[in-house]
Amino acid sequence: MKRFDFARLGLAVGLAVALVAPLAVHAEPFKLIVTETETPLVPNSVSDLAIRLGYYKRAGVDVELIRVQQTPSAVAALRAGEGDMANIATDTAMQLIGRDQMKLKGVISPDKALPFLIAVKKSITSPQSLEGKVFGVARVGSADYILSRAVLANLGVAVNTLQYLAIGQPPVRAQSLAAGQIDATSVSIGVWTTMPDKSTLSILVDQANFYRLAPFVSKLNVVTEAVAKAKATQIAGLVRGVIMASRDFAKDPKLWVDAMVQARPDVKREDLEVLAQAYRKSWAVNGGLNIKEVKFTTDVDYQGPDFKDLRRVEPEDWIDTSFIDAVLKDIGTDKAQDETGR
């Protein structure tokens, strides 16, 4: 009788394992929508590399990237339920909330800053010598236009004396500068590093000082309020994975270079090594959501035409630092960089 009972018990356990195991193996991954079609040459690459290097897995979450082009497509995918979280422009998130079109929560910023620097002709040796010169921008009112003016104004430049020429994306602006068609422009450190000939150019304001003078949080990861409640454990795991990977990249830039060599074989290793050093103080080692910087961003955005007559959306209305704060309570805050503002 006992042998029979054990046999039945063994059969029951076996059936239970067989039924549960497939569910564990095929569990639905947490889908992160990103606006890069390939691993980007900026700190936002951490979202990709944390998958490759197993950081999310170790934090207890299976993350899948959903790649789209630009923020509007990311918003559409998030709205349609094609993803759980999206890395989008901060101003777009605020507009969606201000227009009562979506209820969003900002939970982390893997790469909060556009890695801009101001590049100029070598003949321009000081910020003030830019006055009266031609400054290339994407368009009047674009992020690079607004931030460049803020940076230069903080350096004492009479920004209204500059001639702003709408050219387009950073690579096009860089080509125009190299060709002598403009006197200065703002481009990313990645674009600058990969320019084939910089012999006639120099950096007037480097990446670190650009952000110091205009601490604008350009992008962040958002979730809907419904996902924040339903998938809090997975959000927590993703946040932990990003922070842990960011800390390791900050401590050991070679780790980022080695991973990027695999992710972007089209980029020279020596260029990646230059970028790794440039980004050493740019990683979101504390989650990247400095409330004071989000406040600055809000104030700047509400000066633009897209926010005219829009209901005011303050950081406390939608920024949720609880997931970051839980990680920092566990592992401590890195005091060397990425100030939290709280």
In a domain, 145, yes or no: yes
Asked if 194 and 67 sit in the same domain, the reply is no
Per-residue pLDDT tens for 133-173? 999 999 887 878 989 999 999 999 999 999 999 998 899 99
Q: Give the model's pLDDT for residue 184.
A: 98
The two beta strands, 30-34 and 85-89, are parallel
256, 285 contact by CB (below 8 A):
no
Residue span of the structural domain in which 292 resides: 30-113+217-331
Per-residue pLDDT tens for 286-326? 999 999 999 999 998 898 888 989 999 999 999 999 999 99
Asked if 103 and 163 sit in the same domain, the reply is no
Asked if 151 and 291 sit in the same domain, the reply is no
In a domain, 20, yes or no: no
Q: Give the model's pLDDT for residue 146.
A: 86
Asked if 83 and 226 sit in the same domain, the reply is yes
Asked if 143 and 196 sit in the same domain, the reply is yes
How far apart are alpha carbons 90 and 297 in whole angstroms? 8
Phi, psi of 58 (to 5 degrees): -65, -25
pLDDT classification of 26: cutoffs 50, 70, 90? very low
Query: Would you say residue 197 has pLDDT above 70?
Result: yes
Residue type at 130 in one-letter notation = L
pLDDT classification of 2: cutoffs 50, 70, 90? very low
In a domain, 75, yes or no: yes
- Rounded to 10 deg, the angle between the 322-331 and 232-251 helix axes is 50
Asked if 188 and 206 sit in the same domain, the reply is yes
Query: Would you say residue 114 has pLDDT above 80?
Result: no
The two beta strands, 163-166 and 219-224, are unpaired
Asked if 230 and 323 sit in the same domain, the reply is yes
In a domain, 302, yes or no: yes
Query: Would you say residue 106 has pLDDT above 90?
Result: yes
Asked if 154 and 258 sit in the same domain, the reply is no
Half-sphere CA count of 26, side-chain side, radius 13 A: 6
Asked if 172 and 188 sit in the same domain, the reply is yes
Q: Give the model's pLDDT for residue 113.
A: 82
For the record, the structure tokens of 85 come out as 């979280």
Asked if 208 and 228 sit in the same domain, the reply is no
Per-residue pLDDT tens for 249-298? 999 999 999 999 999 999 999 999 999 998 988 999 999 999 999 999 99
pLDDT classification of 19: cutoffs 50, 70, 90? very low
How far apart are alpha carbons 122 and 50 in whole angstroms? 39
Asked if 222 and 325 sit in the same domain, the reply is yes
In a domain, 4, yes or no: no
pTM: 0.80
Asked if 177 and 74 sit in the same domain, the reply is no
Alpha carbon 40 to chain centroid distance?
A: 10
135, 163 contact by CB (below 8 A):
yes
**Total domains, the chain:** 2
